[in-house]
Structure formats: C-alpha cells, structure tokens
Structure 1
Amino acid sequence: MPLGQFQSHHENRPGVIAGFLPRDSKLLGKWLDHISQKSISAYGDQIEQGYSFLEPSVQALAFLLNEDDHLHGLVSEMIEQGWQVHQEEEPKVAYGIKSINDMLCALNYIIKHAPIFDPDLPHSAFPMSGLFVYMMWTPAGNFVFKNKLFNDALRNILDAWCEFLDSPASLSVVVTSKDGWLSEASWKANSLDQFVTKEQIEKDPVHWGYTSFNDFFHRQIIAICRPIDGPDNDRVITSANDGTVYRIARNVKLDDDFETKAQNYSLEQMLDGSPLTTRFVGGDVVQTFLSGNDYHRWRAPIAGKVVEARVVNGYMFSELYSEGFDPSAGTKSQGYEAMVNTRALIFIESESPAIGCVCIMPIGITEISSISIQVKVGDRVEKGQELGWFSYGGSSMALVFQPKAIKQFTIVNPLSDNNSNNGPFVRVGAQIAISTI
C-alpha cells in the first residue's frame, strides 16, 4: 500500500479515533525508537553481563526464551519480521527493536515507569501496544502471541506493571505539569471536568486526591454526567459502558468460524463453555470499544440477580492475521478478540421472562488487560449499578442477549466494514435497546 494511502487508511482506524494511536502513522516508529533508545541507554551495558538486573517477571521471560530453543527462534523471527513490516510502512523512520535483548530492555523500562501525557507523542500513553504493534502482524507473531508459555510470561509482566501503576510511585505523572495527566491539555483531551470537582482540587492541589496512576485511569465520574435512562422502566436496556459502537450482530450461532475476516461470534468460545451458553443461541451481541479518555467503569444494563461472575484469562496481543497490518494494535480484531482475549463474564438474570439472562463481557485489549469485578454470584443489582472496572489498557465491551429478548435496538449499527469508525458514541447508562414485552 503506498504511504499516502496507508496514512489515509490509518487515520480511520478505530485505534486512532479512540486515542490509542497517533493520527500521523509515522509517529509510531518515532515513538518506538524513542522508547528503545531510553531502555538501551538505561540497561544496554548491563544486559550484556546477564539478566540479574531485570525485574523478576521480565527475567522469567528471559530464562524461558533461553531454555526453549523453539520459542526463542520464533520470537527472534517475529522481531525480524516486525522490522520488515516497519520497513514497508515507514522506511524513513528508524526502528528500535532489533533483538530479544532489545525487547527485554524495553519491557523492563516500561514496567518501571508510568506513562506520561504527551500530546506530541500520543503513543507514549500505550507503550506496550507501541512495542508490539509491528510484531503482532507477522507470521511468527501469529504463533508467538498465542503460545501459552509466552502468553503466561507476558501476563506476569503486565501484572507486575499493573502493580506498579497501583502504587504511589506511579503518581509522578498524575500532576499538573506539561507532561502530567492533570495538565491543562489533558483536562481538555480527557474531559476531566466530568470527573474532577473544585473541592477535590482544593483539598489536594498536587494529585487531586488520586492515589496512583490506575486510580486516575479508572477514575469515578460525577454522577450527574452519566444519568441512567428509564431507571424504573424494565423495557429500557442501557449501555454498560462509555464507548463507540463496533458491531450489532443478530441470530448468533453456538459455534462459528471466528478466525475469518468476518469475525463471526461463536458463543461456545465467547462464553468459555458456561452452562448458560445454550440460552443465548440465536440471540444478539452488541460490541463497543472504549477510547483512552472514556469512563472505564461499567454498569448493569438491566436489573436482576448475578448468576455467574468470573474472569477468563486469555490472549492480550493476538490479532486476526487475515485482517492485515493493523497500526491500531488490535482494534481491527475486536470480534475475534471477544472469543480469545482476557475477559470477564457477568451473567445477570432479569426478573422479566422476556429479557431472561444478559451477559456483560468486558474484554481486555493489549496493555495490562486487567479486569476487576466488584459483584459476586447471588448479588441483586439495579440497572445502572456499578459492576467493575478496567485498569490501564485498551478495552472493548460485548453484551449478549437471549433470542427474542430485544424488540428493537435504538442505536445505529455501523457499516459492515470493520475498519470504519462510523459507529455512534454511547454513554454508560444511555438507552441502547427496547426489550420485548
């Protein structure tokens, strides 16, 4: 694809619209070279002497690759193929990751730092996506990011980063300076007027009451900014999250081929073999994606009783190879990711037989893929009640309805082109459908 055509195509990617990627594709390579130079400068001399300086989770990955010759070869091949993808897309921009040691240094650097707010280098906010974006769409990467040993090691690294971002040490970027998340530019970009009160700032002018980076990321919103539609009308189904509509699918099958460009929903895989799965055959799925500045907590779309609630550990950086190179690091593959990624399954049984059971499925995409559920089986929840939140990272949300539960969707289904960004924005608590009587 010619560079100009690639750039035009890139600007319409969901990840660009969502804020996970810079609008200018050339900034991807610039950012990656930037993070590589920082990490090699910090650790380049040390890694030649061994891995003892690495954080325990990164050290475990290093040992895994040293002990598994086949996986070592695949990862080396993935890095080489990532360089080739980069050369095709951005031949005039330096490429930072040339070896496994480079990758280990970058991982070690990333998980010891909280992302800064940098409007000139937007990808600095999503460093793991930046690190792997070229590697994800390669023949070798197609295997590596599905490899259980590699995926488990990578999850441990992301968990370690999440632990750091939960700590007070991560507050260094939650400040009002130019590269801080409380800066004037961030206030506008992240609509902080919907989250932060005057009293909050006056009480703590430095960090505005936030205790960590993750505390800022899954910040609570001012209630009046997200009213609940039809709170006393059981027929009104509401959105579980802030997001942009990715797809509405009807008459979903129990088992379907989800590894094609159509990215069909396959309930058996999507619901991870739940005993409730058969109740949804022939039903409907609504999937939305959250931008980096959206409200990252999710709420019940109906009232009812929680009958199942759990987290399914899955992939984080696997994307559908047949979709082609995706500078948005996976947002083109959201249908596929609903079947294979780390996700939560929260089933709520309505008291209305017409609605039956609804599954709320928050889906992690790249970065930490950390999902926290705050309700448990047996809890009674009201429509609009908080169910949990995403910690730092990309995310998507699917709602699964039983057949004939939905009389009419009141949101627009995007065009069939999965690369389009023409879906409407919906706020959490807003009406998205009317149930059958």
Structure 2
Amino acid sequence: MAHSSSSHHLHHVGNWMPADHKAHKEWLGGIIQEVDDNAPLHPVLQEFQTLIETNTRIYMLLTSMFKEVPRRKRYGHDPTGNPEIRDYPHFLQVLNHLLTTAPSWTDKSHRVGLVGLPINAVLDWPMGTPSGYAAFLDPDINRMIKKILNVWGDFLRSPASAYVLGSSEHGWFGEMGRRDLTAVARIGPVAATNMQFGDMFECDPDAENHGFTSWDHFFTRVFREGIRPVADPEDGKVIANACESRPFRLVHHVNARDKFWIKSQPYSVLDMLGHDSLASQFVGGTIYQAFLSALSYHRWHAPVSGKIVKAYVVDGTYYSEPLFEGVGDPHGEAKEIDMAGQVTSQGYITSTATRALIFIEADEPAIGLMAFIGVGMAEVSTCEITVKEGQRVNKGDQIGMFHFGGSTHCLLFRKGVNVSGFPEPGMEENVPVRSRLAVVS
C-alpha cells in the first residue's frame, strides 16, 4: 500500500484525522484552550487518577510517556517548548472535556481537518513513545480505558451529542461535510447518479440534523433499500463484501502464529482468533483485510448464507501501536515519531485490539466454515454483534456494526478453499458493501 509522507497512524488512512501536522496542531491547541483546569473530574476519571497514583508501574508509564515526546515544533509544542499535553493530570483534564464533546468536522482554508477520533488525537504522539507502547499494552490501563470509553459512548448516544451534525463550519452536514459524505457513498450502482445524502440513507433531509437524534444515530445510519443490492443472492459461490471498505491486504497460506509485532506485520491466526477452538482450521488459509473510512457506512453484513456457529467480542487494546512506529524503534530506524506509522499497522491490531469474531458455516460446501473479524480501533472499540449462535443468515443480512467510528475488518477462509477475484489492495475508493467481493471454486 502506498505511504503518504503526511500521514501518521492508521486513522489517517481512513480520513479519521487531519492530513497534516498544522491542522492537527490547530485542533489540539483549540481543544486545550477550551479545557477548564479547575473543573471537577468525572467520577470515571477520578477512578483513573486513583489507579495512576496508587499503582507504581502505571504511574511510571504515564508520567514517562509525555516526557518522551520529542521537543520539536512538529509535535504540537507551545511557544515555550513545552508539550501541549504536559503530564497525566493535564491529560485527565483534557479527557474530562472530551467526554462531553462529539467527533467534529472542520474545514479551514480548504484544508479538511476531520477529527473523528478526538481522544486518539490527544494521544497521537505519546502513544508512539517507548513508555506509551508499554502503557497501552497494560491490562489494567486497558480496563480503565474501556470504562472511560463506555462513558463517552453514553454521551454519543444522547441528544446532546447531535450538536456537531448541524450545518455550521464544524457540522457534518455543513457544505463540505455533506459533500464528502455524499461523494464517499456515491459508488457502485449509484456511482453515475446525482443522488444526495438524503436519497441514499434512511433519514429526513427536511428535519433538523436530517432527523438524526444523536451522533451515534448518525454514525450507524442505514442505506435505503436498493442502494446496496446483494451480489448474486442465490449463488453460494459468490462472496459478498461484508463492510463498505477499501482493500488493504490479501494473504494466502497464513501461519498459525507469527511475529505480528514486527515491521512486516504478518498475520498470526491463533492470536487474531483469540485462540478459539475453531482457529486451527484457518491455519494455512486465506485472509482478506480492508479498512473503513471515517465517512463510510459502518454496519457489517454476512458475506455468505449459512449458520452462525459462534459470535462474541474479544477484549483487547485500544491505543496500542507497534514499537517500531515511534521514537522507540528498536532498530534505530525512527529518529522521531514516524508520520507514516500505522498506515501498515492494521495487521498488528488484528491480533491486539478489541474485536468481534463471527464464525459462519456457509451453505456452500466449497466454503464451509469461514470467519469475520471486526476490529475496533481507539475510540472505535464498541463492536456490536447483532446475530446469535445458531441463527441462520442470508448473504447480505446485517450481522453487526461499529459504534463511534470504524476501523478494519478481515474475512478468513480455511486451507484448501479456492477463493479468488478479490479487489486489488491500494484502490482509491471503497468497495460497496454487499457487492461481489470474490468467488470460490
């Protein structure tokens, strides 16, 4: 996949974050100016503070990670040379502010500055340090982050979060936001039409915020009937695209276990599937991976018709990135935090991040057992599965969704399943959900 010198982490690939340093710094600086350092911390952040101050290991890691951010202008330092986020008490105050804000859209001087992952934006530099690497693999820290994100999720489901959807400069339905939301969805069968956002999604274009009552309501929006038809619904050999996404990687003959944390990011099947008893069946098989844009549709759909064998969520990390992407590069290749970092780290997070596992026994014998993995990223850690074990699904049926954002997903096929015809990684636009993805013979 092509790397951009102006991109940094995985979220830049899917337009989750501003595309350049200046837009990121402007956003972060604006947020920090709004923070009231004297505001009482939310109870969940008081709990986090207590954990930090009573656990020596966590205190050391979170104190060190802010100190390890390079003292260079590009990393968002103020005019005195101090980091924008100075220490963990300051970080907690910034989190306190963000728990009552929703992901915003801005456009300044025609430079799009989309901040779909505000907490991730705050941690963009410190999580790439050696101490940040250790901190965001720590089980106790991840359990605490999960609690914090659940609180934030409650806000994003509330009517108060809908303020960012308006037609103002910071609104998703402002001129630029609405234009880009429409452009991303105008692919596949509707590519050549003049359809607008309201024509493609279930909403009321004449109502305030198009009738969406919260940020989460908008984010989990649904296509109108017929906009994304199911590919060859009666042909079991045709596999439908499970997510509206851009192809990232296709690998055959995958290993049972591999060093997924090294620079080549090999897939490690047993780790990806959480050492499930069914995981060994996929050793030597095929993995297709694709990522979701911040502007995309975020529900998942069954790639085949069949029976749900298992469906559950594996708890994992939220802000972990490989050590080689940051200032802690053990090979000495990164003199500073790599701005092309997690473009390729999607392989890594398939084994570490919070993720949904759905095993489907396809009706088509040539496919048999296959697996879907929906991988949460940063704030996008809520993977909601909407099917149950033993349930029958038809190709194209909804099986779940990402909340508060999106990330990446994988389809796994067993060794011996001859599946081909996948789209080429690196293409510029999404493959429409439920469209023809591949075929098995």
TM-score relative to the length of structure 1: 0.88
Preserved contact between residue 200 and residue 227 of structure 2 (Cα < 8 Å): no
Correspondent of 1:286 among 274, 288, 308: 288
SS at match of 1:19: coil
SS at match of 1:190: helix
Structure 1: distance between partners of 2:246 and 2:71:
29
Equivalent residue for 1:233? 235
Structure 1: distance between partners of 2:71 and 2:234:
53
Q: 1:126 to 1:326 in 2, by over 3 A?
A: farther
Equivalent residue for 2:317? 315
Equivalent residue for 1:369? 381
Q: 1:195 to 1:300 in 2, by over 3 A?
A: farther
Cα distance, 1:85 vs structure 2: 6.5
CA RMSD of superposed structures (Å): 2.4
**Per-residue deviation, residues 386-422 of structure 1 (Å, max 9, x unmatched):** 111111134111111111223323311x3xxxxxx55
Cα distance, 1:340 vs structure 2: 0.8
Preserved contact between residue 8 and residue 343 of structure 2 (Cα < 8 Å): no
Q: Is 1:116 aligned to residue 128 of structure 2?
A: no
Query: Which AA in structure 2 matches 1:38?
Result: E
Equivalent residue for 1:64? 51
Structure 2: distance between partners of 1:202 and 1:279:
46
Over the matched positions of the two proteins, sequence identity in percent amounts to: 32
Residue correspondences, number: 413
Correspondent of 2:398 among 363, 366, 386: 386
Preserved contact between residue 329 and residue 366 of structure 1 (Cα < 8 Å): no
Preserved contact between residue 15 and residue 328 of structure 1 (Cα < 8 Å): no
Structure 1: distance between partners of 2:306 and 2:98:
41
Preserved contact between residue 306 and residue 363 of structure 2 (Cα < 8 Å): yes
Equivalent residue for 1:177? 168
Preserved contact between residue 20 and residue 328 of structure 1 (Cα < 8 Å): no
Preserved contact between residue 36 and residue 106 of structure 1 (Cα < 8 Å): yes
Unaligned runs of 5+ residues in structure 2 are 186-194, 327-336
Query: Which AA in structure 1 matches 2:122?
Result: L
Structure 2: distance between partners of 1:182 and 1:313:
34
Larger helix proportion of the pair? 1
Equivalent residue for 1:22? 18
Superposed, 1:419-430 pairs within 5 Å as 421-422=426-427, 425-430=430-435
Query: Which AA in structure 1 matches 2:102?
Result: A
Preserved contact between residue 8 and residue 339 of structure 2 (Cα < 8 Å): no
Equivalent residue for 2:90? 102
Query: Which AA in structure 1 matches 2:6?
Result: H
Preserved contact between residue 258 and residue 264 of structure 1 (Cα < 8 Å): yes
Preserved contact between residue 243 and residue 425 of structure 1 (Cα < 8 Å): yes
Equivalent residue for 1:45? 38
Structure 1: distance between partners of 2:95 and 2:76:
23
Equivalent residue for 2:437? 432
TM-score relative to the length of structure 2: 0.87
Q: 1:36 to 1:280 in 2, by over 3 A?
A: same
Q: 1:328 to 1:291 in 2, by over 3 A?
A: farther
**Per-residue deviation, residues 309-336 of structure 1 (Å, max 9, x unmatched):** 0011100100111234354784431101
Query: Which AA in structure 2 matches 1:170?
Result: S
**Per-residue deviation, residues 40-74 of structure 1 (Å, max 9, x unmatched):** xx2x134xxxxxx2112111111111111221121
Q: 1:123 to 1:327 in 2, by over 3 A?
A: farther
SS at match of 1:404: coil
Structure 2: distance between partners of 1:385 and 1:434:
18
Unaligned runs of 5+ residues in structure 1 are 1-6, 47-52, 415-420
Structure 2: distance between partners of 1:327 and 1:156:
29
Superposed, 1:14-413 pairs within 5 Å as 15-39=11-35, 42=36, 44-46=37-39, 53-82=40-69, 84=70, 87=73, 95-120=83-108, 122-191=113-182, 195-197=197-199, 205-324=207-326, 325-327=337-339, 330-412=342-424
Equivalent residue for 2:333? none
Structure 2: distance between partners of 1:377 and 1:195:
35
Cα distance, 1:119 vs structure 2: 2.1
Structure 2: distance between partners of 1:279 and 1:201:
43
Preserved contact between residue 104 and residue 114 of structure 2 (Cα < 8 Å): no
SS at match of 2:400: strand
Cα distance, 1:36 vs structure 2: 1.5
Preserved contact between residue 106 and residue 113 of structure 2 (Cα < 8 Å): yes
